[in-house]
């Protein structure tokens, strides 16, 4: 039996962004978002007979980026990359954050650019960062365009750097441009839609962007911010802005969340999405919910990812998968294969 091919767009320039270290609670540790993340997933997906790998070797339109991100954020990424290239500095790390003094008269925003446009220290910018993030965003936009063109109903954007911590005017958490929000913005041509975030961490950047947008429903399952990054967002009482009340649904989960609790919560989230009657879906796909992930406190097994895919597929919506986290590098390919098996109902062999 013939099955529709699933296009997988991967950004050819993602390796231009490869910081060696990050600061974590005062310690200098190895940077978790390594280029090998994409390589492992790409290799594993290439082995699936129903996948079509497509290289994304282009950037994206500044005008389209400005529909989602503030121009000053885009300038920050561009100018800081240029500065790093010009002075030979490997990576520029934000270090001083204005906080309560953000509106002080005479503030030199240029000098304080890192602190002005980042909410943490986990998104350093190097000479190749701008190129990498533009290609990552382009892969998500090409995935969305493939849906619009009617060429597929399920498309995978293998984004790196990830995007769901990037807000309208801030970077953070390995994220610079919000790939899921950019894909959603293009898919609005089909009418209203939904974003489902199943990364281990709350998609604070995505929530910031769609907070007051009545045309986008945002649902996020994540570790409870009472104990986990990003701490300040992702609580259940965050439900949308004045023009879009009830369009945000957060499902914070406790440490040790297992398959049953996660899948029961996912069904609740999917019911909320279905009630919104969306015309399309973007999934912020994080594999850091896996029990063996470096950053996770959850205990999800491989079986959970098959069921996740199956439940999401039951919405029967044109869907873009945008890669977010997942830091057990050796397992990422298997996790991606397993999730797609659930989404498509097709085993690795190509059989139903």
Task: Show the beta-strand stretches assigned E in 72-215.
Answer: 91-92, 125-126, 154-157, 193-197
What phi and psi, each to the nearest 5 degrees, are found at residue 308?
A: -55, -50
Per DSSP, 188 falls in state G
Helix (H, G, I), strand (E, B) or coil at 202: coil
Residues 325, 165: contact at Cβ < 8 Å? no
Cis bond leading into 161, ω under 30°?
Answer: yes
Distance between CA 133 and CA 28 in Å, rounded? 24
Q: Is 173 left (phi over 0), alpha (psi -120 to 50) or beta?
A: left
Cis bond leading into 196, ω under 30°?
Answer: no
Select from 133, 138, 112, 135 the least CA-distant residue to 123: 133
* Burial call 147-160: b when 16+ CB within 10 Å, e when fewer: beeeebebbbbbbb
Residues 173, 229: contact at Cβ < 8 Å? yes
Torsion of CA 204, 206, 210, 212, to 10 degrees: 10
**H/E run at residue 56:** strand 51-56
- Residues annotated as part of the active site: 165
Return the residue matching tokens 């998500």.
140
């Amino acid at each position: 039996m013939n099955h529709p091919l699933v296009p997988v767009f991967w950004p050819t320039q993602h390796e231009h962004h490869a910081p060696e270290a990050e600061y974590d609670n005062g310690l200098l540790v190895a940077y978790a978002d390594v280029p090998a993340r994409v390589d492992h997933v790409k290799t594993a997906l290439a082995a699936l007979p129903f996948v079509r790998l497509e290289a994304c070797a282009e950037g994206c339109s500044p005008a389209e980026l400005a529909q989602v991100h503030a121009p000053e954020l885009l300038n920050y990424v561009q100018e800081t990359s240029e500065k790093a290239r010009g002075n030979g500095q490997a990576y520029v790390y934000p270090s001083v954050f204005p906080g309560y003094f953000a509106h002080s008269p005479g503030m030199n925003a240029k000098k304080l650019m890192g602190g002005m446009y980042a909410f943490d220290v986990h998104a350093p910018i190097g000479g190749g960062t701008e190129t990498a993030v533009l290609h990552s965003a382009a892969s998500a936009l090409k995935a969305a365009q493939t849906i619009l063109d009617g060429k597929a109903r399920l498309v995978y954007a293998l984004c790196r750097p990830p995007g769901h911590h990037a807000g309208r005017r801030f970077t953070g958490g390995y994220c610079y441009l919000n790939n899921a929000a950019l894909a959603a913005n293009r898919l609005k041509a089909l009418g209203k839609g939904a974003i489902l975030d199943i990364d281990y961490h709350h998609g604070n950047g995505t929530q910031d962007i769609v907070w007051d947008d009545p045309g986008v429903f945002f649902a996020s399952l994540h570790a409870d911010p009472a104990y986990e990054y990003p701490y300040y967002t992702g609580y259940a009482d965050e439900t949308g802005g004045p023009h879009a009340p009830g369009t945000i649904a957060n499902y914070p989960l406790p440490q040790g969340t297992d398959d049953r609790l996660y899948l029961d919560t996912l069904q609740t989230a999917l019911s909320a999405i279905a009630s919104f009657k969306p015309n399309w879906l973007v999934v912020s796909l994080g594999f850091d919910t896996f029990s063996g992930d470096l950053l996770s406190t959850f205990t999800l097994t491989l079986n959970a990812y098959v069921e996740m895919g199956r439940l999401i597929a039951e919405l029967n919506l044109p869907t873009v998968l945008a890669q977010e986290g997942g830091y057990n590098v050796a397992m990422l390919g298997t996790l991606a294969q397993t999730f797609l098996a659930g989404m498509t109902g097709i085993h690795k062999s190509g059989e139903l």
